[in-house]
Amino acid sequence: MTSPRVNLLDFDADQMAAYVAGLNEKPFRAKQLMQWIHQRGVSNINDMSDLAKTFRTTLLDKAEIVSLPVLKDEHATDGTRKWLLDVGAGNAVESVFIPEDGRGTLCISSQAGCAVNCRFCSTGYQGFSRNLTAGEIIGQLWFAEHLLRNDPNAVRRIEEFPTPGWEHTGRVISNVVMMGMGEPLLNYDNVITALRLMLDDRAYGLSRRRVTVSTSGVVPMIDRLAQDCPVALAVSLHAPNDALRDQLVPLNQKYPLKELLAACERYLPFAPRDFLTFEYCMLDGINDSDIQAKELVRLLKDIKCKINLIPFNPFPESGLKRSTAQRIHAFVNILLEAGMVATVRKTRGDDIAAACGQLAGDVVDRTRVRERAVHDAEIVQSEQPIHWLNKLDD
């Protein structure tokens, strides 16, 4: 029986070196492969002209470079671009490219669906199917970078981040954020492999400051990330106390705020910047009062951080509404007056459902998350007033 071909996108530099050594080839062949695949975007092994013909023949028999098939390519009026990518078995994930002045940011997914089930996130409502492989994660960057680089209609070209040895004249994607579908730290090993490729000068050569992992608070994995591959860290906070966060971010019931913030303080000495980012989704009448803003100040006052307020991007199943512009303005002013660093994120790509919290893809749920979400919503709607909101005023 013929063994399946390995996908070379699954290998970071060390893994590629081990694979090449297993084929009895010299170590420099691994570097050549990395450059052909990641820097030049070549997927046809026969086109790798400086590889020995015998090596190419061996690779054609044993290996391949396979990215995710594109099911849909959508363009927003603000230049944002979203791809729906097929990951098999009825599952699809989404990636988003966001062009901005002086940068191009790619938001990528780490799982098909998400089991964390944050109440304001449409990805969680879809349920969870499986973790993506390292090749499926880095394949999103591989595909987007080389597609945009060669597309004459691409919205931006970033010319200011040259990498020695690259033959192209400019980079399109300058920043990568792992804020797409899934909780990255619940797919730790594959995410780490992908992160190492993003940072490797033989691949994408991105700065640690320009690669961000967003987590809902998987405390043990935050500690591991600090040791294994410290990049910029964004923590999905969304509430200033455990009572509310238990409801909005169910993972808080396992890793409450005291444990989460302690892990954040442990991460800071290893972070590429001298601060962490806390994300706070602004939900009308839920977490946006003056009292809660002052509570947030007390919670975070001793941590070097930036608070990123995110206007909620509604989806029908959530039953939630976006805070008004006036309420967001009042909330951020309380933070600023208290000496906190706080910004309001500009909503991008919402006309193609590419904004924060809107990525849903198409997921065959194996964990009954969707069924539980419907049940929980029915309970909440039947209670007058909503019990967990009452706790905030106690």
Between CA 225 and CA 235 the distance in angstroms is: 13
Q: Which residues fall in the annotated binding site for [4Fe-4S] cluster?
A: 114, 118, 121
Between CA 30 and CA 202 the distance in angstroms is: 10
Give catalytic residue positions: 94, 356
- Burial letters for 195-228: b for 16+ Cβ neighbours within 10 Å, e otherwise? bbbbbbebbbbbebebbbbbbbbbbebbeebbee
State the DSSP H helix or E strand holding residue 344, giving kind and residue range, or none if neither: strand 341-344
DSSP codes joined into one string, 282-294: EBTTTT-SHHHHH
Terminal CA-CA length for the chain: 67
Closest CA to 281 of 114, 119, 166, 158: 119
Q: Which residues fall in the annotated binding site?
A: 114, 118, 121, 182-183, 214, 236-238, 313
Q: What is the DSSP-derived secondary structure letter of residue 158?
A: B
Helices within 51-169 (DSSP H only): 53-62, 122-126, 134-149
- Residue 258 CB partners (closer than 8 Å, separation 6+): none
Q: Which residues fall in the annotated binding site for S-adenosyl-L-methionine?
A: 182-183, 214, 236-238, 313
Q: What is the DSSP-derived secondary structure letter of residue 115?
A: S
Between CA 166 and CA 121 the distance in angstroms is: 38
Closest CA to 240 of 292, 201, 279: 292
Nearest-5° Cα angle at 294, 288 to 296: 75
Phi-psi region of 41 (alpha: psi -120 to 50; beta: other; left: phi over 0): left
Dihedral angle, C-alpha 383, 387, 389, 390, nearest 10 °: 120
Q: Name beta bridge partners: 278.
A: 235, 307
